[in-house]
Amino acid sequence: MQARTHTGRRRLLFAACGTLLALAAPLAAAQDNYPSKNMRMIIPFGAGGGSDVLARTIGSVIKDLKLVPVDILYENLPGSSGARGYKEASRRKNDPYVMATVSVSFFTTPLIGRAPFKQEDFTPVAAISMSPYVLAVKADSKLKTLEDFGAAKRLTTGTVGVVSDARLLADMVSKQLKVRVDVVPFDGEGEITTGVLGEHIDFMFGNPSEIMPQIEAGTMRAIAVSAGNRLSSMPNVPTFKEQGYDIEHTMLRSVVMPAGVKPEVIAYWEGVMRKVAESKEWKERYLDRFKEEARYENAKDAAALIKQTNDRYVAVMKELDIIK
């Protein structure tokens, strides 16, 4: 009788285990099958711009290395300083098949009240590289060192748009070096370069890819870089911090997905982006080509750095009375 009781219990146990395994199998299969359809990469700007090149280079490396079993479809949605594209991405809440890249407008457009989205509408996936800035002057400028900047009574620089990384850095220079810096708006980066070369403004902040050709041509001279360490592309140019000034600001090239996407999906793409960032294809096609710096940050750290960057924009925009 007792033997039959034990046998019955074992049968019930096996039946229960079988039921649990049957329930778990579809869940595991669903996870194993992701992604099962093409991804949608929303680019909030036009074809050929920095955001477009970043997104398409990421996608080309993913495709060539066969990192995912589906294609990435690119969708350029320019308009309203990125608001149109980011709005479309943000409204796809919980959608694991949508992603977008981060630009300056990701921060500034919502802050000035011109966007139907906010950062909380997105989930950071990873940062994949770092875009530093170089303070440069005309080659024959009397401004040889940062001490010369501090000794000047008044300086001028340029920016594209009311609020930009160049504007933020100019504000940092003004505070740290205790010098008045007037910021002149221009329609494009090329016009700012022309402004320096034509002596209409005293200095500019540009990415290494913008400044290096001028240095190689002997028309400009680099004074400092805004990264925490010297750049691999410009090893002879010291950082601001090396020279005793607490100025550090870079743009992390990051990828985000809509809010509500499951943690396992974020973890999946976090791993994909890590493989991209560590590949020689990424180095050749993006880092070396555009003089960007290698830097990978996981989802958690990328989120913290995005918040830090947003706080910087808030501070400078309040000082400029752009926001309250």
DSSP assignment letter at 120: G
Contact status, residue 282 vs residue 61, Cβ threshold 8 Å: yes
**Residue 90 phi, psi dihedral angles, 5° rounding:** -70, -30
- Which residue reads 């041509």 in tokens? 217
pLDDT in tens, 113-124: 767 888 899 999
Confidence of residue 3 (pLDDT cuts 50, 70, 90): very low
Q: What average pLDDT does the structure give for the chain?
A: 88
pTM, 2 dp: 0.79
**Apex CA 156: angle with CA 130 and CA 224, to 5°?**
35
| Residue range 134-225 in CATH 3.10.105.10 | no
The residue among 108, 106, 109, 104 whose CA lies nearest residue 122 is: 106
The ranges assigned to domains in the chain are 39-131+251-319, 134-225
Give pLDDT tens digits for 245-267. Answer: 999 988 889 999 999 999 999 99
User: 39-131+251-319, superfamily in CATH?
Assistant: Bordetella uptake gene, domain 1 (3.40.190.150)
Asked whether the domain spanning 134-225 has the same topology as the one spanning 39-131+251-319, the reply is yes
| Confidence class for position 323, pLDDT limits 50, 70, 90 | confident
Whether 136 shows a pLDDT value over 80: the answer reads yes
